[in-house]
Amino acid sequence: MSKNTRGIYLADGSIHRFAEGATTKGLSDHIATRDRSPDFTALGMYLPNPDPILKKLGKDVSVYRDLRGTAPVGGAIRRRKAAVRSREWRLVDSVSGQTGARADQKASPRMMQIAQDTLADLDLDAILGEMLDAPLFGWVPMETMWATVEGTLRPVGLMAKPQEWFLFSPDGQLRFKSRAAPIHGEELQPRKFLVPRQDASYVNPYGFADLSMCFWPTTFMRGGLKFWVTFAEKFGTPWVVGKQPRSAGKKETDELLDQLEAMVQDAVAVVPDDSSVDIKETGSKGDAAGAYRELLMYCRSEVNIALLGQNQTTEASANKASASAGAEVEKTLSDADAKLCEGAINQLLRWLTDLNESEQAPAPRFEMYEEEQVSEVQAKRDGEMSRSGLVFSPQYWAREYNLQPGDIASAGPGQVANPGAQAAKPAAPESLPPLPG
């Protein structure tokens, strides 16, 4: 036996070469792990949230919930969620695109019916609204309630729970911080919690919170608004200056001051005949008020960029072209949010299939989509071409105008598919009477 073929014959007749063991050793194992790294932040107990805002403040994600009370943040959140919740959804039986799935694998009709009935019984609109908190806070734990319905085990409820109640273990597993285990957390039952996350990674299993980009702009906006209100109270009304003779005592001065304070509120005052009252305006107050206004507008713009990806559709100075470009950016962000929701619902359908068929059975897939609007330009063009005599096939009408089977009636005897084509043909000229003599 040559040197290159040295090895040991196994019971199945194959040979394990000595060189193979030396070259493949450790390729399937993790080398860079937390328990071997010089990072001692977790200390083998739990992984802290690496969010820079929360680390500096020493607080949890509850500080981000307070931001939703401001109009720019709350309005942008409603707008972002509405863009996803207004979409239509459907179930497909094809599992192409899933990891390890063959192109010919399809979910069974029975499983498709169970999934359809399950999603129809759930309050999907409210569930999607809670799932869309994941991009805002980075992640959201959602507890699944299971029950037996018509002989099958189905989820009958899906509810988001506070992030402060949970943590991630060093191996990236979700744990519940109960009173009995507040440090390490309790291990959770499989198929019990869905955890939608945005941009989660090995370094940060908590995901990236978009509200972290809104914290400082909102804080400065609140402070600027407070000072702006104080400025308006102080300089928005004229200054009332009272003048008294030098011989006036403190009692007379205090009485005049009280009368001037009442005058500011009621515009009525009674002063001695040897005193005078002047009303003075502040000439430079407009420039100072503009500084506060610019600060508030800048902070509001930063919030819109953080949550909507743009500020062109919310600023009064934007034109139609910039607003259209901004809407495209917002559409891309909405697509990413929809993908996050699809992934969470598909994980739920995977669990549903595991419990009612098998872990190897293909699961239905949940898809969200937008109803495409018919282009007026295309409809006008197709109408002109039909009137000119061009006949489109029923497949074309169904594909381009999203028609359902049965919407297109077949042409009967003596009828044409495009009646406009016959009407567009020029009529034959009528015969003229013969000319006289």
Give the closest residue to 194 by CA, choosing from 134, 137, 113, 153.
134
Note the pLDDT tens digit of each residue in 104-116: 688 999 999 999 9
How far is residue 314 from each of residues 70, 72, 234, 317, 392, measured CA to CA in Å? 16, 10, 31, 9, 43
Contact residues for 337 (Cβ-Cβ < 8 A; gap 6+) = 80, 83, 84, 132, 135
Confidence label for 420 from pLDDT (cuts 50, 70 and 90):
very low
Residues 276, 281, 283, 285, Cα dihedral to 10° = 140
What is the average pLDDT value for the chain, to the nearest integer? 79
What integer pLDDT is reported at residue 327 of this predicted model?
78
Determine the length of the chain.
437
What integer pLDDT is reported at residue 84 of this predicted model?
95
Contact 118, 152 (CB under 8 A): no
Residue 391 clears pLDDT 70, i.e. is over it: yes
Residue 79 clears pLDDT 50, i.e. is over it: yes
Residue 436 clears pLDDT 70, i.e. is over it: no
% of the chain at pLDDT higher than 70: 71
Confidence label for 5 from pLDDT (cuts 50, 70 and 90):
low
Contact 373, 401 (CB under 8 A): no
Which of 86-90, 113-117, 233-237 bottoms out in mean pLDDT, i.e. has the lowest?
Answer: 233-237
Residue 348 clears pLDDT 60, i.e. is over it: yes
Give the closest residue to 341 by CA, choosing from 371, 308, 358, 365.
365
What integer pLDDT is reported at residue 152 of this predicted model?
94
Residue 280 clears pLDDT 70, i.e. is over it: no
% of the chain at pLDDT higher than 90: 38
Q: How many CB atoms lie within 10 A of CB 172?
A: 12
Question: Highest mean pLDDT range out of 170-174, 364-368, 382-386?
Answer: 364-368
User: What's the rounded Cα separation, in Å, for the pair 142 and 195?
Assistant: 6
What integer pLDDT is reported at residue 269 of this predicted model?
53
Q: How many CB atoms lie within 10 A of CB 18?
A: 13
What integer pLDDT is reported at residue 114 of this predicted model?
96
What integer pLDDT is reported at residue 83 of this predicted model?
93
Between helix 71-85 and helix 320-356 the angle, nearest 10°, is: 60
What integer pLDDT is reported at residue 271 of this predicted model?
54
Which of 14-18, 171-175, 187-191 bottoms out in mean pLDDT, i.e. has the lowest?
Answer: 14-18
Mean pLDDT for 208-214 is 94
Which of 185-194, 293-302, 413-422 bottoms out in mean pLDDT, i.e. has the lowest?
Answer: 413-422
What integer pLDDT is reported at residue 190 of this predicted model?
93
How far is residue 195 from each of residues 141, 215, 374, measured CA to CA in Å? 5, 24, 37
Look at 7 and 183; give whichever has higher pLDDT. Answer: 183
Which secondary-structure segment (H or E) carries 155?
Answer: strand 152-160
What integer pLDDT is reported at residue 328 of this predicted model?
84
Contact 168, 206 (CB under 8 A): yes
Name residue 184's amino acid.
H
The reported pTM is: 0.70
Note the pLDDT tens digit of each residue in 119-175: 999 999 999 999 999 999 999 999 999 999 999 999 999 999 999 999 998 888 999
What integer pLDDT is reported at residue 44 of this predicted model?
57
Which of 107-121, 125-139, 260-274, 415-429 bottoms out in mean pLDDT, i.e. has the lowest?
Answer: 415-429
- Per DSSP, the three-state class of 59 is coil
